[in-house]
Amino acid sequence: MAKRPFTIIHQDADIVICNKASGVLSIPGRDPKQLSLQELLKRKLKADIFIVHRLDKDTSGIICYAKNEIAHKNLCEQFEKREVKKKYLALVSGTPNPAEGKVENFLSPHIKGYMKVSTTGKRAVSMYKTLKSYDQISLMEIEILTGRMHQIRVHMRSIGHPLIVDKIYGKRSELFLSEFSQKPLYRSKYKSERPLISRHSLHAHSLTFTHPDTQKKIKFECDLAKDMKAVIHQLERNKS
Annotated domain spans of the chain:
6-238
Active-site positions? 56
Task: Specify whether the CB–CB gap between 139 and 232 falls below 8 A.
Answer: yes
Q: What is the pLDDT of residues 192-207, one digit of tens each?
A: 788 999 999 999 999 9
pLDDT for residue 33: 80
Q: What is the pLDDT of residues 45-59, one digit of tens each?
A: 999 999 999 999 999
pLDDT for residue 181: 61
Whether 116 has a pLDDT exceeding 90, the answer reads: yes
Question: Which sign, positive or negative, has the C-alpha torsion 64, 197, 226, 240?
Answer: negative
Taking the C-alpha atoms of residue 51 and residue 75, their distance in angstroms, rounded to an integer, is 10
pLDDT for residue 63: 98
| Average pLDDT estimate for 80-103 | 96
Superfamily designation of domain 6-238: Pseudouridine synthase (3.30.2350.10)
**Strand, coil or helix: 225:** coil
Whether 2 has a pLDDT exceeding 80, the answer reads: no
Taking the C-alpha atoms of residue 51 and residue 71, their distance in angstroms, rounded to an integer, is 11
Count Cβ atoms within 10 A of the Cβ of residue 112 and give its class: 0-12 exposed, 13-18 middle, 19 or more buried.
exposed
Task: Specify whether the CB–CB gap between 156 and 163 falls below 8 A.
Answer: yes
